[in-house]
Chains A and B, each alone.
Chain A
Amino acid sequence: MSGAAATSATAGAARPGELLLRCRSLVVGYRGEGLLPPLDLELRRGTLVGVLGRNGSGKSTWFKTLLGLLRPVAGRVERSAPGLRMAYVPQSAGLDAILPLSARDVVAQGRLTGTSFLRPWASAEDRRVVAGALEAVGVAGLARRRFRDLSKGQQQRVLFARMLATRADLALLDEPTAAMDVEGEREAVAELARLAHGERMAVVLVTHALELAERNCDELIVFDRPARRVVHGPSAEVAGGALYRRLRGELA
Protein backbone atom coordinates (compact mmCIF):
# COMPACT_ATOMS: atom_id res chain seq x y z
CA MET A 1 0.00 0.00 0.00
CA SER A 2 1.73 3.13 -1.18
CA GLY A 3 1.49 6.57 0.30
CA ALA A 4 0.72 9.08 -2.42
CA ALA A 5 -1.48 7.08 -4.73
CA ALA A 6 -4.43 4.76 -4.39
CA THR A 7 -3.46 1.16 -3.99
CA SER A 8 -5.20 -2.14 -4.22
CA ALA A 9 -4.00 -4.80 -1.83
CA THR A 10 -5.36 -7.52 -4.13
CA ALA A 11 -4.24 -6.19 -7.46
CA GLY A 12 -3.88 -9.09 -9.82
CA ALA A 13 -5.21 -11.65 -7.31
CA ALA A 14 -8.05 -13.98 -8.35
CA ARG A 15 -11.44 -12.95 -6.95
CA PRO A 16 -14.79 -14.67 -6.97
CA GLY A 17 -17.68 -13.38 -9.01
CA GLU A 18 -18.32 -11.69 -12.31
CA LEU A 19 -16.80 -8.26 -12.86
CA LEU A 20 -19.54 -5.60 -12.74
CA LEU A 21 -17.80 -2.27 -12.57
CA ARG A 22 -14.24 -1.05 -12.91
CA CYS A 23 -12.70 2.28 -11.93
CA ARG A 24 -9.73 3.10 -14.18
CA SER A 25 -7.42 5.80 -12.86
CA LEU A 26 -10.57 7.44 -11.52
CA VAL A 27 -10.14 10.89 -9.99
CA VAL A 28 -13.20 12.30 -8.24
CA GLY A 29 -13.79 15.91 -7.27
CA TYR A 30 -15.59 19.10 -8.16
CA ARG A 31 -15.00 21.71 -10.89
CA GLY A 32 -11.99 19.92 -12.29
CA GLU A 33 -10.24 19.67 -8.93
CA GLY A 34 -9.48 16.15 -7.74
CA LEU A 35 -10.02 15.31 -4.07
CA LEU A 36 -8.14 12.02 -4.07
CA PRO A 37 -5.40 10.30 -6.06
CA PRO A 38 -6.30 8.19 -9.13
CA LEU A 39 -8.10 5.04 -8.07
CA ASP A 40 -8.16 1.65 -9.80
CA LEU A 41 -10.53 -0.96 -8.47
CA GLU A 42 -13.04 -3.58 -9.50
CA LEU A 43 -16.45 -4.40 -8.05
CA ARG A 44 -17.54 -8.00 -8.44
CA ARG A 45 -20.80 -9.86 -8.01
CA GLY A 46 -21.39 -11.53 -4.63
CA THR A 47 -19.16 -9.22 -2.59
CA LEU A 48 -19.91 -6.77 0.20
CA VAL A 49 -17.55 -3.82 0.07
CA GLY A 50 -17.24 -1.44 3.01
CA VAL A 51 -16.24 2.18 2.33
CA LEU A 52 -14.64 3.91 5.31
CA GLY A 53 -13.26 7.32 6.08
CA ARG A 54 -13.78 10.43 8.15
CA ASN A 55 -16.45 13.00 7.24
CA GLY A 56 -15.22 15.01 4.25
CA SER A 57 -12.80 12.29 3.15
CA GLY A 58 -14.34 12.10 -0.33
CA LYS A 59 -16.53 9.02 0.19
CA SER A 60 -19.72 10.73 -0.96
CA THR A 61 -18.02 12.31 -3.97
CA TRP A 62 -16.67 8.92 -5.03
CA PHE A 63 -20.10 7.42 -4.44
CA LYS A 64 -21.87 10.05 -6.57
CA THR A 65 -19.34 9.52 -9.34
CA LEU A 66 -19.97 5.76 -9.33
CA LEU A 67 -23.72 6.42 -9.45
CA GLY A 68 -23.27 8.66 -12.49
CA LEU A 69 -24.46 11.77 -10.63
CA LEU A 70 -21.03 13.47 -10.92
CA ARG A 71 -18.56 13.43 -13.80
CA PRO A 72 -15.08 12.11 -13.07
CA VAL A 73 -12.33 14.73 -12.96
CA ALA A 74 -10.11 12.20 -14.74
CA GLY A 75 -10.17 8.51 -15.58
CA ARG A 76 -13.39 6.61 -16.03
CA VAL A 77 -15.98 4.28 -14.56
CA GLU A 78 -16.53 1.28 -16.80
CA ARG A 79 -19.66 -0.80 -16.47
CA SER A 80 -19.45 -4.41 -17.57
CA ALA A 81 -22.63 -3.98 -19.60
CA PRO A 82 -24.65 -0.93 -20.64
CA GLY A 83 -27.73 -2.40 -18.99
CA LEU A 84 -26.04 -2.90 -15.61
CA ARG A 85 -28.73 -2.41 -12.97
CA MET A 86 -27.85 -0.19 -10.07
CA ALA A 87 -29.75 0.59 -6.88
CA TYR A 88 -29.17 3.30 -4.31
CA VAL A 89 -30.15 3.12 -0.64
CA PRO A 90 -30.01 6.42 1.27
CA GLN A 91 -30.19 7.06 5.00
CA SER A 92 -33.87 6.74 5.87
CA ALA A 93 -33.61 10.01 7.81
CA GLY A 94 -32.96 11.86 4.55
CA LEU A 95 -36.22 10.78 2.92
CA ASP A 96 -39.39 12.81 2.66
CA ALA A 97 -41.31 12.31 5.90
CA ILE A 98 -44.57 13.88 4.67
CA LEU A 99 -45.39 11.50 1.85
CA PRO A 100 -47.97 9.00 3.11
CA LEU A 101 -46.44 5.96 1.40
CA SER A 102 -46.93 2.42 2.64
CA ALA A 103 -43.93 0.12 3.00
CA ARG A 104 -45.19 -1.75 -0.06
CA ASP A 105 -45.35 1.52 -2.06
CA VAL A 106 -41.70 2.20 -1.20
CA VAL A 107 -40.57 -1.28 -2.21
CA ALA A 108 -42.58 -1.00 -5.45
CA GLN A 109 -40.41 1.98 -6.40
CA GLY A 110 -37.64 -0.55 -6.93
CA ARG A 111 -39.53 -1.81 -9.97
CA LEU A 112 -39.46 1.58 -11.71
CA THR A 113 -36.66 2.09 -14.20
CA GLY A 114 -36.34 4.50 -17.10
CA THR A 115 -39.82 5.31 -18.33
CA SER A 116 -41.55 2.22 -16.91
CA PHE A 117 -43.47 4.54 -14.56
CA LEU A 118 -45.63 5.54 -17.57
CA ARG A 119 -47.63 2.35 -16.99
CA PRO A 120 -50.18 3.63 -14.42
CA TRP A 121 -50.40 0.38 -12.45
CA ALA A 122 -47.92 -2.25 -11.29
CA SER A 123 -47.90 -5.50 -13.27
CA ALA A 124 -48.60 -8.88 -11.68
CA GLU A 125 -44.89 -9.69 -12.00
CA ASP A 126 -43.96 -6.45 -10.19
CA ARG A 127 -46.38 -7.26 -7.36
CA ARG A 128 -44.89 -10.74 -7.04
CA VAL A 129 -41.33 -9.37 -6.91
CA VAL A 130 -42.31 -6.74 -4.32
CA ALA A 131 -43.99 -9.36 -2.11
CA GLY A 132 -40.91 -11.57 -2.41
CA ALA A 133 -38.55 -8.73 -1.51
CA LEU A 134 -40.61 -7.80 1.58
CA GLU A 135 -40.57 -11.46 2.61
CA ALA A 136 -36.82 -11.81 2.01
CA VAL A 137 -35.89 -9.13 4.54
CA GLY A 138 -38.56 -10.12 7.05
CA VAL A 139 -40.90 -7.14 6.75
CA ALA A 140 -43.84 -8.72 4.91
CA GLY A 141 -46.02 -7.99 7.95
CA LEU A 142 -45.31 -4.28 7.62
CA ALA A 143 -46.38 -4.03 3.95
CA ARG A 144 -49.48 -1.95 4.64
CA ARG A 145 -47.96 0.22 7.38
CA ARG A 146 -47.00 3.81 6.61
CA PHE A 147 -43.25 4.02 5.97
CA ARG A 148 -42.96 7.19 8.07
CA ASP A 149 -44.55 5.45 11.08
CA LEU A 150 -41.98 2.61 11.14
CA SER A 151 -38.91 2.53 13.39
CA LYS A 152 -35.56 3.47 11.84
CA GLY A 153 -34.54 -0.18 11.70
CA GLN A 154 -37.79 -1.19 10.04
CA GLN A 155 -37.50 1.67 7.55
CA GLN A 156 -34.01 0.56 6.63
CA ARG A 157 -35.18 -3.01 6.08
CA VAL A 158 -37.92 -1.73 3.79
CA LEU A 159 -35.27 0.18 1.83
CA PHE A 160 -33.22 -3.04 1.62
CA ALA A 161 -36.36 -4.71 0.22
CA ARG A 162 -36.61 -1.90 -2.36
CA MET A 163 -32.99 -2.56 -3.27
CA LEU A 164 -33.80 -6.25 -3.78
CA ALA A 165 -36.89 -5.42 -5.85
CA THR A 166 -34.71 -3.54 -8.35
CA ARG A 167 -33.00 -6.87 -9.13
CA ALA A 168 -29.87 -4.73 -9.18
CA ASP A 169 -26.46 -6.11 -10.03
CA LEU A 170 -24.80 -3.42 -7.97
CA ALA A 171 -26.25 -1.66 -4.91
CA LEU A 172 -24.71 1.38 -3.25
CA LEU A 173 -25.73 2.24 0.30
CA ASP A 174 -24.92 5.61 1.86
CA GLU A 175 -24.57 5.18 5.64
CA PRO A 176 -27.81 3.18 5.88
CA THR A 177 -27.23 2.39 9.55
CA ALA A 178 -26.42 5.93 10.71
CA ALA A 179 -29.67 6.43 12.64
CA MET A 180 -29.77 2.95 14.18
CA ASP A 181 -28.82 1.70 17.60
CA VAL A 182 -25.90 -0.73 17.95
CA GLU A 183 -28.05 -3.86 17.75
CA GLY A 184 -29.98 -2.60 14.73
CA GLU A 185 -26.74 -1.68 13.02
CA ARG A 186 -25.28 -5.13 13.65
CA GLU A 187 -28.37 -6.86 12.22
CA ALA A 188 -28.49 -4.54 9.20
CA VAL A 189 -24.86 -5.09 8.20
CA ALA A 190 -25.21 -8.86 8.66
CA GLU A 191 -28.35 -8.72 6.53
CA LEU A 192 -26.43 -6.90 3.80
CA ALA A 193 -23.69 -9.52 3.83
CA ARG A 194 -26.35 -12.21 3.49
CA LEU A 195 -27.99 -10.35 0.59
CA ALA A 196 -24.69 -9.74 -1.21
CA HIS A 197 -23.70 -13.39 -0.98
CA GLY A 198 -27.17 -14.93 -1.32
CA GLU A 199 -28.53 -12.70 -4.06
CA ARG A 200 -25.21 -12.53 -5.91
CA MET A 201 -25.06 -8.73 -5.93
CA ALA A 202 -22.15 -6.40 -5.41
CA VAL A 203 -23.08 -4.29 -2.38
CA VAL A 204 -21.06 -1.18 -1.59
CA LEU A 205 -21.68 0.17 1.88
CA VAL A 206 -20.51 3.55 3.20
CA THR A 207 -20.32 3.27 6.98
CA HIS A 208 -18.66 4.58 10.11
CA ALA A 209 -19.14 1.23 11.88
CA LEU A 210 -15.58 0.04 11.41
CA GLU A 211 -15.70 -3.15 13.42
CA LEU A 212 -18.93 -4.30 11.80
CA ALA A 213 -17.50 -3.57 8.37
CA GLU A 214 -14.28 -5.43 9.21
CA ARG A 215 -16.27 -8.44 10.43
CA ASN A 216 -18.88 -8.60 7.63
CA CYS A 217 -17.40 -7.04 4.51
CA ASP A 218 -15.36 -9.02 1.99
CA GLU A 219 -13.39 -5.95 0.97
CA LEU A 220 -12.71 -2.56 2.47
CA ILE A 221 -11.86 0.79 0.89
CA VAL A 222 -10.39 3.42 3.21
CA PHE A 223 -10.29 7.07 2.12
CA ASP A 224 -7.86 9.55 3.65
CA ARG A 225 -8.20 12.90 1.91
CA PRO A 226 -5.64 14.91 3.94
CA ALA A 227 -2.95 12.33 3.16
CA ARG A 228 -4.36 11.85 -0.39
CA ARG A 229 -4.47 8.10 0.07
CA VAL A 230 -6.97 5.40 -0.74
CA VAL A 231 -6.40 1.82 0.35
CA HIS A 232 -8.44 -1.05 -1.04
CA GLY A 233 -8.29 -4.79 -0.48
CA PRO A 234 -9.65 -7.81 1.42
CA SER A 235 -10.97 -6.80 4.83
CA ALA A 236 -8.41 -8.69 6.90
CA GLU A 237 -5.57 -7.22 4.92
CA VAL A 238 -6.81 -3.62 5.00
CA ALA A 239 -7.74 -3.90 8.69
CA GLY A 240 -4.16 -4.85 9.47
CA GLY A 241 -2.81 -1.71 7.83
CA ALA A 242 -1.69 1.53 9.44
CA LEU A 243 -4.30 3.71 7.75
CA TYR A 244 -7.19 1.62 9.06
CA ARG A 245 -5.72 1.52 12.57
CA ARG A 246 -5.32 5.28 12.56
CA LEU A 247 -8.88 5.77 11.34
CA ARG A 248 -10.14 3.46 14.09
CA GLY A 249 -8.27 5.52 16.62
CA GLU A 250 -9.74 8.76 15.28
CA LEU A 251 -13.33 7.47 15.20
CA ALA A 252 -13.16 5.75 18.58
Chain B
Amino acid sequence: MTPTAAPTWDDFVVAWELFRDPIACAFAAGAVLGMLSVYVVLRRMVFVSAAVTQSAALGVAASFYAEIHLGLAFDPVFGAAAAALGATLLLLFDPKKLGVSRESVLGWVFAATGGATVVLGSRITQEAHDIESILFGTAVLVRPLDLTLVLAVGAAVLLLQLALHRGLVFASFDPVAARVQRLPVTALSSAVLLAIGIMVGVSARALGALPVFAFSTMPALTALLLGSGVRAAFVVAAAVGALSGVLGYLCAFFWDLPVGGAQAGLACGFALAALVLRSGYRLAVSLRRGRGRPGAAPTGDTRG
Protein backbone atom coordinates (compact mmCIF):
# COMPACT_ATOMS: atom_id res chain seq x y z
CA MET B 1 0.00 0.00 0.00
CA THR B 2 1.62 3.27 -1.13
CA PRO B 3 0.94 6.41 0.88
CA THR B 4 -1.26 7.85 -1.89
CA ALA B 5 -3.15 4.74 -2.98
CA ALA B 6 -6.53 3.97 -1.44
CA PRO B 7 -6.55 0.71 0.57
CA THR B 8 -7.98 -2.34 -1.20
CA TRP B 9 -9.60 -5.60 -0.07
CA ASP B 10 -6.23 -7.29 -0.71
CA ASP B 11 -4.61 -4.92 1.78
CA PHE B 12 -7.34 -5.74 4.26
CA VAL B 13 -6.97 -9.50 3.81
CA VAL B 14 -3.18 -9.31 4.14
CA ALA B 15 -3.53 -7.39 7.42
CA TRP B 16 -6.49 -9.50 8.71
CA GLU B 17 -4.50 -10.68 11.75
CA LEU B 18 -4.22 -7.05 12.79
CA PHE B 19 -7.89 -6.22 12.26
CA ARG B 20 -9.46 -9.43 13.55
CA ASP B 21 -9.62 -8.47 17.21
CA PRO B 22 -10.99 -4.94 16.76
CA ILE B 23 -13.63 -6.23 14.32
CA ALA B 24 -14.61 -9.04 16.69
CA CYS B 25 -14.79 -6.52 19.53
CA ALA B 26 -16.91 -4.09 17.48
CA PHE B 27 -19.21 -6.97 16.46
CA ALA B 28 -19.71 -8.24 20.02
CA ALA B 29 -20.03 -4.84 21.69
CA GLY B 30 -22.32 -3.58 18.90
CA ALA B 31 -24.58 -6.63 19.16
CA VAL B 32 -24.90 -6.65 22.95
CA LEU B 33 -25.21 -2.88 23.33
CA GLY B 34 -27.67 -2.86 20.42
CA MET B 35 -29.82 -5.41 22.23
CA LEU B 36 -29.62 -3.40 25.46
CA SER B 37 -30.53 -0.26 23.50
CA VAL B 38 -34.10 -1.58 23.26
CA TYR B 39 -34.39 -1.18 27.03
CA VAL B 40 -32.58 2.17 26.93
CA VAL B 41 -35.07 3.57 24.42
CA LEU B 42 -38.22 1.87 25.71
CA ARG B 43 -37.52 2.82 29.32
CA ARG B 44 -36.55 6.40 28.33
CA MET B 45 -33.00 5.95 29.59
CA VAL B 46 -31.10 7.55 26.70
CA PHE B 47 -29.63 10.17 29.00
CA VAL B 48 -28.71 7.42 31.48
CA SER B 49 -26.68 5.78 28.75
CA ALA B 50 -24.98 9.12 27.96
CA ALA B 51 -24.11 9.74 31.62
CA VAL B 52 -22.80 6.19 32.18
CA THR B 53 -20.74 6.33 28.97
CA GLN B 54 -19.26 9.66 29.99
CA SER B 55 -18.42 8.21 33.43
CA ALA B 56 -16.59 5.31 31.77
CA ALA B 57 -14.49 7.82 29.82
CA LEU B 58 -13.64 9.54 33.10
CA GLY B 59 -12.63 6.18 34.56
CA VAL B 60 -10.10 5.66 31.76
CA ALA B 61 -8.73 9.19 32.06
CA ALA B 62 -8.45 8.79 35.84
CA SER B 63 -6.53 5.52 35.38
CA PHE B 64 -3.95 7.26 33.16
CA TYR B 65 -3.73 10.16 35.59
CA ALA B 66 -3.26 7.87 38.60
CA GLU B 67 -0.46 5.98 36.85
CA ILE B 68 1.41 9.06 35.64
CA HIS B 69 1.04 11.38 38.60
CA LEU B 70 0.33 9.13 41.57
CA GLY B 71 2.26 6.00 40.60
CA LEU B 72 -0.86 3.83 40.96
CA ALA B 73 -0.90 1.41 38.06
CA PHE B 74 -4.21 -0.29 37.21
CA ASP B 75 -5.62 -1.12 33.83
CA PRO B 76 -7.83 1.63 32.34
CA VAL B 77 -10.47 -0.95 31.40
CA PHE B 78 -11.04 -1.58 35.10
CA GLY B 79 -11.11 2.16 35.73
CA ALA B 80 -13.80 2.48 33.04
CA ALA B 81 -15.83 -0.40 34.42
CA ALA B 82 -15.58 0.89 38.00
CA ALA B 83 -16.60 4.44 37.04
CA ALA B 84 -19.50 3.20 34.87
CA LEU B 85 -20.72 0.94 37.67
CA GLY B 86 -20.33 3.74 40.21
CA ALA B 87 -22.47 6.04 38.07
CA THR B 88 -25.01 3.25 37.59
CA LEU B 89 -25.26 2.63 41.33
CA LEU B 90 -25.73 6.36 41.90
CA LEU B 91 -28.58 6.33 39.38
CA LEU B 92 -30.23 3.35 41.09
CA PHE B 93 -31.18 5.52 44.05
CA ASP B 94 -34.45 7.38 43.83
CA PRO B 95 -33.55 11.08 44.14
CA LYS B 96 -37.22 12.05 44.49
CA LYS B 97 -36.85 11.36 48.23
CA LEU B 98 -34.53 14.38 48.29
CA GLY B 99 -36.96 16.46 46.27
CA VAL B 100 -34.76 16.22 43.17
CA SER B 101 -35.70 14.75 39.79
CA ARG B 102 -33.72 11.93 38.23
CA GLU B 103 -33.01 14.16 35.22
CA SER B 104 -31.20 16.62 37.49
CA VAL B 105 -28.94 13.86 38.83
CA LEU B 106 -28.31 12.62 35.29
CA GLY B 107 -27.40 16.12 34.18
CA TRP B 108 -25.03 16.46 37.13
CA VAL B 109 -23.33 13.11 36.41
CA PHE B 110 -22.95 13.94 32.71
CA ALA B 111 -21.58 17.45 33.26
CA ALA B 112 -19.33 16.51 36.18
CA THR B 113 -17.77 13.46 34.53
CA GLY B 114 -17.42 15.22 31.15
CA GLY B 115 -15.74 18.22 32.76
CA ALA B 116 -13.48 16.04 34.90
CA THR B 117 -12.41 13.99 31.86
CA VAL B 118 -11.37 17.14 30.00
CA VAL B 119 -9.55 18.52 33.07
CA LEU B 120 -7.69 15.23 33.72
CA GLY B 121 -6.93 14.96 30.01
CA SER B 122 -5.16 18.31 30.08
CA ARG B 123 -2.85 16.98 32.83
CA ILE B 124 -1.79 13.86 30.94
CA THR B 125 -0.61 15.36 27.67
CA GLN B 126 1.69 12.41 26.95
CA GLU B 127 -1.43 10.24 26.76
CA ALA B 128 -3.50 12.80 24.86
CA HIS B 129 -3.97 10.41 21.95
CA ASP B 130 -5.38 7.77 24.31
CA ILE B 131 -7.81 10.27 25.81
CA GLU B 132 -8.99 11.20 22.32
CA SER B 133 -9.43 7.54 21.47
CA ILE B 134 -11.49 7.05 24.64
CA LEU B 135 -13.78 9.96 23.95
CA PHE B 136 -14.28 9.57 20.22
CA GLY B 137 -13.18 6.02 19.50
CA THR B 138 -10.22 6.76 17.23
CA ALA B 139 -8.31 3.66 18.33
CA VAL B 140 -7.64 1.27 15.46
CA LEU B 141 -6.41 -1.63 17.59
CA VAL B 142 -7.96 -3.44 20.53
CA ARG B 143 -5.92 -5.13 23.26
CA PRO B 144 -6.55 -8.86 23.94
CA LEU B 145 -7.68 -8.06 27.51
CA ASP B 146 -10.30 -5.61 26.22
CA LEU B 147 -11.60 -8.14 23.71
CA THR B 148 -11.73 -10.90 26.33
CA LEU B 149 -13.69 -8.67 28.73
CA VAL B 150 -16.12 -7.51 26.05
CA LEU B 151 -16.78 -11.13 24.98
CA ALA B 152 -17.15 -12.42 28.55
CA VAL B 153 -19.36 -9.60 29.82
CA GLY B 154 -21.34 -9.63 26.55
CA ALA B 155 -22.06 -13.37 26.92
CA ALA B 156 -23.17 -12.86 30.54
CA VAL B 157 -25.46 -9.97 29.55
CA LEU B 158 -26.98 -12.08 26.74
CA LEU B 159 -27.77 -14.87 29.20
CA LEU B 160 -29.26 -12.35 31.64
CA GLN B 161 -31.42 -10.89 28.87
CA LEU B 162 -32.65 -14.35 27.89
CA ALA B 163 -33.61 -15.03 31.51
CA LEU B 164 -35.22 -11.69 32.34
CA HIS B 165 -36.70 -10.29 29.15
CA ARG B 166 -40.30 -11.39 29.74
CA GLY B 167 -40.31 -9.90 33.21
CA LEU B 168 -38.56 -6.74 32.05
CA VAL B 169 -41.03 -6.14 29.23
CA PHE B 170 -44.00 -6.61 31.60
CA ALA B 171 -42.42 -4.34 34.23
CA SER B 172 -41.80 -1.67 31.57
CA PHE B 173 -45.32 -1.87 30.14
CA ASP B 174 -47.35 -1.95 33.36
CA PRO B 175 -45.20 -1.80 36.52
CA VAL B 176 -48.18 -1.72 38.91
CA ALA B 177 -49.76 -4.87 37.49
CA ALA B 178 -46.34 -6.53 37.49
CA ARG B 179 -45.95 -5.69 41.20
CA VAL B 180 -49.45 -6.99 41.96
CA GLN B 181 -48.49 -10.26 40.24
CA ARG B 182 -45.48 -10.33 42.59
CA LEU B 183 -42.77 -9.73 40.00
CA PRO B 184 -39.58 -8.21 41.51
CA VAL B 185 -39.95 -4.98 39.53
CA THR B 186 -37.23 -3.00 41.35
CA ALA B 187 -34.73 -5.85 41.10
CA LEU B 188 -35.48 -6.22 37.38
CA SER B 189 -34.93 -2.50 36.74
CA SER B 190 -31.69 -2.58 38.74
CA ALA B 191 -30.47 -5.64 36.83
CA VAL B 192 -30.95 -4.03 33.43
CA LEU B 193 -29.32 -0.79 34.60
CA LEU B 194 -26.31 -2.68 35.99
CA ALA B 195 -26.03 -4.69 32.77
CA ILE B 196 -25.93 -1.45 30.80
CA GLY B 197 -23.38 0.02 33.21
CA ILE B 198 -20.93 -2.89 33.09
CA MET B 199 -21.25 -3.40 29.31
CA VAL B 200 -20.74 0.31 28.64
CA GLY B 201 -17.77 0.30 31.01
CA VAL B 202 -15.86 -2.53 29.33
CA SER B 203 -16.78 -1.39 25.81
CA ALA B 204 -15.83 2.26 26.31
CA ARG B 205 -12.15 1.47 26.86
CA ALA B 206 -12.02 -0.74 23.77
CA LEU B 207 -14.12 1.28 21.33
CA GLY B 208 -14.48 4.80 22.77
CA ALA B 209 -17.35 6.62 24.43
CA LEU B 210 -18.94 8.02 21.26
CA PRO B 211 -19.57 4.72 19.40
CA VAL B 212 -20.59 3.04 22.66
CA PHE B 213 -23.24 5.70 23.24
CA ALA B 214 -24.39 5.36 19.63
CA PHE B 215 -24.61 1.55 19.90
CA SER B 216 -26.61 1.82 23.12
CA THR B 217 -29.29 4.05 21.63
CA MET B 218 -29.51 4.06 17.80
CA PRO B 219 -30.07 0.36 17.01
CA ALA B 220 -33.31 0.31 19.04
CA LEU B 221 -34.53 3.39 17.21
CA THR B 222 -33.86 1.64 13.89
CA ALA B 223 -35.61 -1.55 15.02
CA LEU B 224 -38.68 0.28 16.34
CA LEU B 225 -38.94 2.47 13.23
CA LEU B 226 -38.87 -0.68 11.10
CA GLY B 227 -42.00 -1.76 12.96
CA SER B 228 -40.49 -4.72 14.75
CA GLY B 229 -42.45 -6.39 17.53
CA VAL B 230 -40.80 -6.60 20.94
CA ARG B 231 -38.98 -9.90 20.43
CA ALA B 232 -37.93 -9.01 16.89
CA ALA B 233 -36.76 -5.59 18.09
CA PHE B 234 -34.07 -7.22 20.27
CA VAL B 235 -32.81 -9.28 17.31
CA VAL B 236 -32.94 -6.43 14.78
CA ALA B 237 -31.27 -3.99 17.20
CA ALA B 238 -28.49 -6.49 17.96
CA ALA B 239 -27.95 -7.01 14.22
CA VAL B 240 -27.90 -3.24 13.54
CA GLY B 241 -25.44 -2.68 16.40
CA ALA B 242 -23.12 -5.44 15.17
CA LEU B 243 -23.34 -4.21 11.55
CA SER B 244 -22.62 -0.63 12.60
CA GLY B 245 -19.54 -1.80 14.51
CA VAL B 246 -18.11 -3.96 11.72
CA LEU B 247 -19.07 -1.81 8.72
CA GLY B 248 -17.92 1.32 10.57
CA TYR B 249 -14.52 -0.25 11.01
CA LEU B 250 -14.36 -1.20 7.32
CA CYS B 251 -15.43 2.32 6.25
CA ALA B 252 -12.70 3.76 8.47
CA PHE B 253 -10.15 1.47 6.86
CA PHE B 254 -11.11 2.06 3.25
CA TRP B 255 -11.76 5.80 3.49
CA ASP B 256 -9.24 6.65 6.17
CA LEU B 257 -11.84 7.88 8.70
CA PRO B 258 -11.77 7.88 12.51
CA VAL B 259 -13.16 4.48 13.55
CA GLY B 260 -15.48 5.69 16.31
CA GLY B 261 -16.91 8.46 14.16
CA ALA B 262 -17.56 6.03 11.28
CA GLN B 263 -19.25 3.52 13.63
CA ALA B 264 -21.44 6.16 15.30
CA GLY B 265 -22.24 7.71 11.92
CA LEU B 266 -23.35 4.35 10.52
CA ALA B 267 -25.53 3.62 13.53
CA CYS B 268 -27.22 7.01 13.06
CA GLY B 269 -27.41 6.39 9.29
CA PHE B 270 -29.30 3.13 9.80
CA ALA B 271 -31.78 4.96 12.06
CA LEU B 272 -32.21 7.72 9.47
CA ALA B 273 -32.75 5.16 6.68
CA ALA B 274 -35.38 3.42 8.83
CA LEU B 275 -37.09 6.75 9.43
CA VAL B 276 -37.21 7.47 5.68
CA LEU B 277 -38.53 3.96 4.96
CA ARG B 278 -41.24 4.27 7.60
CA SER B 279 -42.29 7.72 6.44
CA GLY B 280 -42.44 6.49 2.84
CA TYR B 281 -44.49 3.46 3.86
CA ARG B 282 -46.94 5.61 5.83
CA LEU B 283 -47.28 8.03 2.93
CA ALA B 284 -47.93 5.15 0.52
CA VAL B 285 -50.56 3.68 2.87
CA SER B 286 -52.35 6.99 3.30
CA LEU B 287 -52.32 7.62 -0.46
CA ARG B 288 -53.73 4.16 -1.13
CA ARG B 289 -56.46 4.71 1.48
CA GLY B 290 -57.22 8.09 -0.06
CA ARG B 291 -57.64 6.53 -3.50
CA GLY B 292 -59.83 3.79 -2.11
CA ARG B 293 -62.28 6.24 -0.53
CA PRO B 294 -65.34 7.13 -2.61
CA GLY B 295 -65.07 10.67 -3.88
CA ALA B 296 -61.38 10.99 -3.07
CA ALA B 297 -59.24 13.03 -5.46
CA PRO B 298 -57.84 10.61 -8.06
CA THR B 299 -54.39 12.21 -7.91
CA GLY B 300 -54.26 11.93 -4.17
CA ASP B 301 -54.33 15.72 -3.92
CA THR B 302 -56.79 16.43 -1.14
CA ARG B 303 -56.49 20.19 -1.04
CA GLY B 304 -59.79 22.02 -1.23
Q: For residue B183, which residues in chain A have a CB less than 8 angstroms away from its CB? A: 112-115, 117
Interface residues on B, range: 20 to 34
CB of A86 closer than 8 Å to a CB of B: yes
Q: For residue A118, which residues in chain B have a CB less than 8 angstroms away from its CB? A: 163-164, 167
> What CA separation (Å) do A96 and B227 show in the bound complex?
16
Contact of B169 (CB < 8 Å), options: A87, A99, A119: A99
Q: Which of A98-126 contact B (CB under 8 A)?
A: 98-102, 105-106, 109-110, 112-115, 117-120
Decide if B163 touches A88 in the complex (CB within 8 Å).
no
Decide if B166 touches A68 in the complex (CB within 8 Å).
no
Q: Which of B160-191 contact A (CB under 8 A)?
A: 162-167, 169-170, 172-174, 176-184
The total of Cβ contacts below 8 Å across the A-B interface reads: 90
- Taking the nearest CB of chain A, how far is it from the CB of B289, in angstroms? 15
The verdict on A113 contacting B181 (CB below 8 Å), with A118-B163, A120-B163 known, is yes
Decide if B229 touches A109 in the complex (CB within 8 Å).
no
Interface string of B12-43 (1 = CB under 8 A from A): 00000000000000000000000000000110
Q: For residue A162, which residues in chain B have a CB less than 8 angstroms away from its CB? A: 177
Q: Which of A28-42 contact B (CB under 8 A)?
A: none
Q: Which of B190-234 contact A (CB under 8 A)?
A: 224, 227-230, 233
- Taking the nearest CB of chain A, how far is it from the CB of B49, in angstroms? 16
> What CA separation (Å) do A153 and B31 show in the bound complex?
39
CB of A95 closer than 8 Å to a CB of B: yes
The verdict on A95 contacting B224 (CB below 8 Å), with A118-B167, A166-B181 known, is no
> What CA separation (Å) do A106 and B167 show in the bound complex?
12
Decide if B181 touches A99 in the complex (CB within 8 Å).
no
Decide if B174 touches A95 in the complex (CB within 8 Å).
yes
Contact of A106 (CB < 8 Å), options: B42, B173, B179: B173
27 examples of A-B residue contacts, CB within 8 angstroms:
A69-B176, A69-B179, A86-B180, A86-B181, A88-B177, A88-B181, A95-B174, A96-B174, A98-B42, A99-B42, A99-B169, A99-B173, A100-B230, A101-B169, A101-B173, A101-B229, A101-B230, A109-B169, A109-B174, A109-B178, A117-B164, A117-B166, A117-B170, A118-B167, A119-B166, A120-B166, A166-B181
